[in-house]
Copies of this chain bind each other. A is one copy, B any other.
């Protein structure tokens, strides 16, 4: 069996070489205080809550692409699909700290929780208060919300919390906003192919041609249903049915929508999916206030897509509309 075609040097060095490239390309916006910590040049400032995000690599532009004024102040960067260890989380937090406390936000995965919790203990010793809000937007990943994974919805959830922090709200408020944003964000995805870790260059699961897996996680964690590949409209309908049932939004409500590529699914297909999503939302009497279409939370070269809905209220609408200037995400 042939190895996945990747344009890399050393499979064990991909993350560090990527970061070298990121700094070479975006040194005007980003700093790298320690090897696996990326900090916004123009975000952190005295009196401001530091929003620190992070997680495994391989999801670019998530996480480091969302570091910048108006969004996250810093990101801790793990190996591919692996939580960062505590040290980079501490380094990112200390570099971003403005004396108003630190909010860690990341997807709800066992490894991330253990590492960021250790970082929180270490920060305590430095006299820095760090709190945590886990994202749990993947409705396919578990029945109970608390067990769910955080996936593409991170974009909206981090954006809302980042705007609150940029508006100089205190830690209690930024934390409240973050939990509120997470509670109103719903994502479900479909995988059409596997991706491969750069160290092994072998598909991390096998999905025979002609099949798809609904609800697959962004690390290839098995999903809820495997079956023959269906049309874009059928897939969008299955996902929208689930999202709308979870969201329970009254007609007239406003939503933000993200149709996200897991990697190799091109914009053409995402817009075909978006066309159906827009139809379904109109049918449900919901208004699209903001639409993102593109690769925002990927699994390297995995084929597939996810749909995220954020159920907006006036507060979240204002926060999503707030400008941000990140290396890989620009608004306002």
Interface residues, chain A, with chain B CB atoms under 8 Å away: 2-3, 5-9, 14-15, 17-22, 24-26, 57-58, 60-61, 65, 80, 190, 192-193, 198, 208-210, 212, 229, 231-233, 235, 263-275, 278, 288, 291, 293-295, 298, 300-301, 303-305, 328, 330-331
Q: Are A209 and B3 in contact (CB under 8 A)?
A: yes
Given contacts A60-B267, A265-B301, A278-B25, contact A272 B18 (CB under 8 A): yes
Across the interface, which residues of B come within 8 angstroms of A14, CB to CB? Answer: 268-269, 272
List the B residue with the shortest CB-CB distance to A1. Answer: B209
Across the interface, which residues of B come within 8 angstroms of A15, CB to CB? Answer: 268
Shortest beta-carbon distance from A142 to chain B in Å: 25
Q: How far is the CA of A269 from the CA of B14 in the complex (A)?
A: 8
Q: How far is the CA of A272 from the CA of B305 in the complex (A)?
A: 24
The 14 sampled A-B contact pairs (Cβ below 8 Å) are A5-B192, A7-B192, A7-B269, A7-B273, A14-B268, A14-B272, A17-B275, A20-B275, A24-B278, A24-B291, A25-B293, A57-B268, A65-B267, A266-B300
Q: How far is the CA of A249 from the CA of B26 in the complex (A)?
A: 23
Q: How far is the CA of A18 from the CA of B278 in the complex (A)?
A: 12
List the B residue with the shortest CB-CB distance to A300. Answer: B266
Across the interface, which residues of B come within 8 angstroms of A2, CB to CB? Answer: 208-210
